[in-house]
Structures are given as structure tokens and as C-alpha cells.
Amino acid sequence: MTSSNDAYGIDFGTTNSVLARATAKTVEAVQLDTPPADWHQAGFDRVLPSVIGIVDGRPPVFGWEAKRLGSGRLEAVKRLFATDDTVTIGNEQLKVEEAAAIFFRHIQAKAAGAGFTSRLDQAVVTIPANSRGLARYRTKLSAGLAGIEVMALINEPTAAAMAHARAIRQNQRILVFDWGGGTLDVTVLQSFEGTFIEQSSKGIQRLGGLDIDTAFLASVLPRIPGHDSWTEEDRNRFRLNLELAKINLSSATVTQVPLPDGRGMFEVTRAQFEEAVRPLIQRTREPVDICLRESPGRIDHLVMVGGSSKMPVIQKFVAEIVGTGISDGVDPMTAIGEGAAIAAGILRGTITDLDFHVGTEHALGTIVHNDTSPKDGEFSVLIRRNTKYPASATDSYTPAVDFQEEVNIEVIEGDPAKPITHEDNVVLKQWSIKLPDKRLKADAAFDITYEYDVDGILHVLVKDQRTSAVIMDEELAFGAGQDRSQLPGMRRRVDGLMDRPGGGGGTTLEESPSTLSSTSRAALKNARDKVMPFVADADRQRLELLVNALENCEPEGEEAAAAALERELRHHAYLL
């Protein structure tokens, strides 16, 4: 059993996820699933495959059970955050946030089954350093729909460095090479008095183990007679066997891959594998070079995490570029989750000898159109790349003509050195800002403040320069979160999926005391402004009672009243 001071970190990975738990003295990855014996031996005993399966209206299944399904499964939901709004799993069509939410709910239920006295209703969740605002927002929303309040979103390389923290001395520089199932992140950090400060970060959004598996499979299949007649189930079984062969080739130079239905074995060698993935390995050089160029100086520690970084060919490749050996002592598969748990411990106040800061991996700005700008506009930078969170910038705007009624603003995130239309540049949102009244343009100026919180979630505040009146004040929302009135219905759908008979993933988990996470005033504001207008009558009445109790309590009862309101608000974390 554990104390109520336990802190949780979740590495929400593209192909595998990790839950870790930290106390003042220890940090450990929590076993969430039981892998097949050969995968257990390959080091997958404390990771949960990020796979969801739904077959014939039955309760969802997750992890290894879902990974071995012939059909009706979804892999790599995190990759869909950047591109898709809905997804089909079996006969169920879900919003991508709902699909991710039931996966988070499964992690929550498994933690409850592990016998911890602290309920998993708060966690630090990791994200790739190169995640856009859209992916950050959707990650936070998905965890919230599962009933998990996100204390902070931290970059995976920062979490990995924190897992190594106590082996890293003051004023040392660390390069983290994080190559997992879906993305590549490279980050240079500086340690200073127990704090890790990001100095440079660069990555590739769609480059990881999934792409390696695809390249390896494409090179192998043409050499197998009769593969064209395989069923979907045959192909999935062979793909899984080949994935294990890829892992085994990190320690062996040759291995055998079982063919479907006991048709024999197929031999693959490390040399064949390395040749098949060489173009992908070469692509990893650019972000390493950029980080070393942007943050010059000796690298004291090279930390390599993520399953893809365990390949000998990539370890040799990166070590030669960086010019230092690879730091060990932490499992590359669980380091990110463990670092996230340490970050949660810092935020809860149970870990006091470490700290962390994260920053922007992309520049933020607006698209400006004028007589001298290119046809598609010019990237006007407001917050530069590698700025530390929280960060803010204010810019002034003037209408183009007298008596203008509204102004269009395009907010962009990316690389200002590249054309607006380049894939690295993403327009986050286009706003039509309605001006308060018709004025001469010289008298109609307004200010826009762009502010990133510690999660990298963007808030935008528009104020009239003449009157200081607020014209617009909103958090940048994406996907399903753009219409907050739909969120309670999504939460009920998540509950319904997980509460199907035989699912064992219900929501009736025992509450336990929880540390107050914000001031009473912040809790009251969240209840009134973000939750009560959108929830059902019964939920609203319950919140009203707690709000009244907090507002009218005696000073000695404030902490208990605020804690009660905080606990109730966590049921609606998807609205916060």
C-alpha cells in the first residue's frame, strides 16, 4: 500500500505507454499488463501497448489483448491527434479524444486494481517536445475525460533527463535522443542547482518505430512466397512476429521469424534489417545537428530513450555525432514515465531536491499581409522558439480602414525561416475579432496578448486600447473541445463504453484525500466559469452546494471545503 503523497506520471506513447509512481524516496514503473513470455524477456514487462480493441459491441480491451486481435483494433491514437477528428474501432465510431480517454481510463482502473491508496486522479503527462498546440490540448482533454486532472504536460526529453537527474551534476549539459514508436525528439538541457532548463529542441513528428516496422516489413515480404494469399489475421500475426524479431536483432545478429499457421520459419539478419531502415536512421541526423548548432558546447551526458533508440546501429550513429558515450542506469523503455512521476512529485512538494522548466519548440506568431510580404503572407514572430514556459507576448493592431467592424487574425506556430505554406508551419486558428463600435482607424487600436501556460496551452486576450475593455478572452481549443457544450456528452459516452457488462473499467473508484492543488479562489472560478454552465442539473446542484460551503466557511474550515470542491471538479477535468 502507498501513502496519499504518491505522485503519478504517465508516458502516453504512440506504441507503448507507461504509468510510474514516485514518493519522496522511490520511483517505479507500474506493471499494467502481462506480455507474452517472449516479449517479457525482451524487456516489455512494464509497458502497456497503446492499442484499443472493440469487437461486436463487447467492452473495450487494451494492451496485449488488443494488440493480438485480428481486426477491430486501433493503434497509435496519439498520431491521429494532429490529423483526424473521428476514428472507427470495430463497429464503434468515436471522436479521437474519446478513444484516447478510454485508454487513459483503462490506466486509471489498472492503477486502482494495484491496491494504491492514492487514486489516480492527478498526473503529469508527457508529450513529444515537437507537439503542436493541437496535440497538447487534445492530450490534456483526453486525460480529463477519463477523470485525470493533468497537473502539467512536460516534454518527453525533459522527463527522460529527470529520470537520470541524480546522476547528473550541477552545470552539466545533457542531450536527450528520444526515439519511440511515433516521433523523434532531440533536446539539449542544462542542469543548474537541480533544475533542468531546455536550451534547444528539434524533432520529427512522424518518424519512429511504426515507420521502422513498415520499412522492415516492406523489405521482407517480397522474399516470402505466397504472402499475397495471407488473411488479415495472418498479416497481423506476421507483423507482430517481425516486430519481435526487430527487437531481438538488437542483441543477436540473426533470428528466425515464425510464418503464419505454422508454415515454417523465415530467417532475417541484423545486416538486412539495418539496410532496410538506413534511410530512416539518416533522417535522425538533422535534428541532432540543429540542436548542437543552436546550443554549442560540450555534451556531458547522452541519454537515449524510447524503444527505437535501443538499436545498436542508431546508438553508434548518434554517439559518434555527439562525441560522448551513452548514459545508462535507467530503463530506456520506462525512463520517460518515471521522469514524469518525479515531475509530479516536485509539483506536489514531496520531491524537493529537483526542479524543471520547459519551453517552446516552435515559434508563435501571426500572418501579416502587406505590400512587401510574399503572396501567402509573412510570419511575424511574437514568441520565439526555445522560450521558457510560461511565456507571453502582446502585440498592437490597427484596423486597415476607418469604421471597420471586425478584424481577421491568423495565429501560426512553426519555423519563421520557412515559407508560410511549409509543412512545419501550422495555422493554429483564424479569429474574426468583432470591434466594439465603429471608429476612425486611428482611434480603434487594440492589443492582443498571447500567453502559454506551463502546459504549452495557448490563451488569447484581446483588449481595446482606448477603454481597456476586454473584447475576447479564450483558451485555444481544438477538435471536440471547440464546443464545450458537447464535452459532458463525451464524458458520458466514455463512461458508457467502460461500464459495459464485463468491462471492469467502471468509474466507481474509491475517492481518497487529495492535496489542494490550487487556491480557493481558482477553484471557485473554475466551478463557476468552466464547469457549472455545461453539466447536467444534478452535477450543477452538487457543485453549487460545495461552492456555497467554501464561500461561507470559517477560516479553519477553508482547506477542507476547498479540497472537497477540488475533488468534485476532477470528475469534470475535461472542462478545465
Are the C-beta atoms of residues 450 and 384 closer than 8 Å to each other? no
95: pLDDT strictly greater than 70:
yes
Reported as a single tens digit per residue, the pLDDT across 274-288 is 999 999 999 999 999
Among 396, 389, 311, which Cα is nearest to 356's?
389
115: pLDDT strictly greater than 80:
no
Residues with Cβ < 8 Å from 332, sequence gap 6 or more?
304, 305, 306, 307, 309, 310
- What whole-number distance in Å separates Cα of residue 284 and Cα of residue 211? 13
Topology of domain 209-280 in CATH is: Actin; Chain A, domain 4 (3.90.640)
Are the C-beta atoms of residues 318 and 348 closer than 8 Å to each other? no
In the chain, count of helices (H) and strands (E)?
16, 26
- Helix %, strand %, coil % of the chain (to 5): 35, 25, 35
pLDDT of residue 116: 77
> Would you tell me which CATH number, out of the four given (1.10.3720.10, 3.10.20.30, 2.60.34.10, 3.40.50.620), belongs to the domain 363-453+457-479?
2.60.34.10
Question: Residue for cell digits 531546455?
Answer: 198
pLDDT of residue 4: 59
Which of 291-300, 313-322, 517-526 comes out lowest in average pLDDT? 517-526
Mean pLDDT of 211-226: 95
Residue ranges per structural domain of the chain: 7-204+297-357, 209-280, 363-453+457-479, 517-575
Are the C-beta atoms of residues 1 and 115 closer than 8 Å to each other? yes
* H/E stretch holding 143: helix 133-145
Selected residue with higher pLDDT from 17 and 113: 17
| Predicted TM-score (pTM) of this structure | 0.79
Reported as a single tens digit per residue, the pLDDT across 390-435 is 899 999 988 888 999 888 888 999 889 888 888 778 888 888 888 8
Which of 8-12, 253-257, 376-380 comes out lowest in average pLDDT? 376-380
Provide the pLDDT confidence category of residue 519 given band limits of 50, 70 and 90.
Answer: low
In percent, how much of the chain has pLDDT > 70? 95
88: pLDDT strictly greater than 60:
yes
For domain 7-204+297-357, the CATH superfamily is ATPase, nucleotide binding domain (3.30.420.40)
Distance of CA 213 to the CA centre of its chain: 22
pLDDT of residue 52: 97
Mean pLDDT of 484-512: 70
pLDDT of residue 100: 96
Among 8, 52, 14, which Cα is nearest to 30's?
8
Selected residue with higher pLDDT from 336 and 486: 336
Mean pLDDT of 216-223: 96
pLDDT of residue 514: 34
Selected residue with higher pLDDT from 572 and 503: 572
Provide the pLDDT confidence category of residue 196 given band limits of 50, 70 and 90.
Answer: confident
pLDDT of residue 513: 30
509: pLDDT strictly greater than 50:
no
Mean pLDDT of 108-131: 86
pLDDT of residue 506: 44
Which range of 37-46, 259-268, 285-294 scores highest in mean pLDDT? It is 285-294
518: pLDDT strictly greater than 70:
no
Among 239, 193, 186, 208, which Cα is nearest to 67's?
239
259: pLDDT strictly greater than 90:
yes
Provide the pLDDT confidence category of residue 232 given band limits of 50, 70 and 90.
Answer: confident
Reported as a single tens digit per residue, the pLDDT across 381-390 is 999 987 888 8
- What whole-number distance in Å separates Cα of residue 401 and Cα of residue 498? 55
